[in-house]
Amino acid sequence: MANPRQAEREMIHATQEATRKMAEETTRAARTAADASASATRAGADMVARNAEAVEQVWQSGSEMAAQLTERSMDQFARACGISGESAQQATQQSARNLESIVQSGTILAGGMQNISREWLAFIQKRMQQNLQRFEALANSRTPQEVMAVQSELVRDHLEGFVHSARRVAELSAQMAEEAGRKMTDTSLAPR
């Protein structure tokens, strides 16, 4: 007859071994998912940066063409209205300055949006890394109290990170708006 204690020990050992293997597989799967997410986040950040640079170049090129078109149009309009000489030149220059300030403000706004996108992408990437670390801690938890402690720590860290990133985005937004507004004001105060 089989020894009941030996059978119980073997069963406990088999259960522990199965739990260990499951934890290893879960950790491995979580690492794979985190690596894939990190790669996707990096690719997304690169794409946002390239798109922002392309938008800035298009914006700059468009502004130069618009300035030239405005100058020609103002000259033709001034001639058609019988305005000539210095007043036509001043009107043309003011229109060009206004258009330039609009373009510069747009460039500032595009750069600010790029910074805001980077901030949110950094937040997401950091959350993914922390999720992986917490997942390992969760897989190694042995009691319900340990599980609750790991989960509550994860929620607290996420909320803290979100508040920090949201504050940083608000600061970037305020800086961007202030700089764009200053650029518009500087142009309107420029000599006419």
pLDDT tens for the chain, 192 residues long, are 567 788 778 887 877 787 777 767 766 766 676 666 666 666 666 676 676 676 667 666 766 776 666 667 666 666 666 666 677 677 777 777 777 778 788 888 888 888 888 888 889 888 888 888 888 888 888 888 988 898 888 889 989 999 999 999 999 989 988 988 888 787 666 655
Residue 168: inside a domain: yes
User: Is residue 155 in a domain?
Assistant: yes
Q: How many domains in the chain?
A: 1
Instruction: Return contacts of 1-7, CB within 8 angstroms, 24+ apart.
Output: none
Query: Is the residue at 157 inside a domain?
Result: yes
Counting every residue, how long is the chain?
A: 192
Write down the pTM of the prediction. 0.52
Q: In terms of residue numbers, what domain contains 106?
A: 46-189
Residue 61 lies in a domain: yes
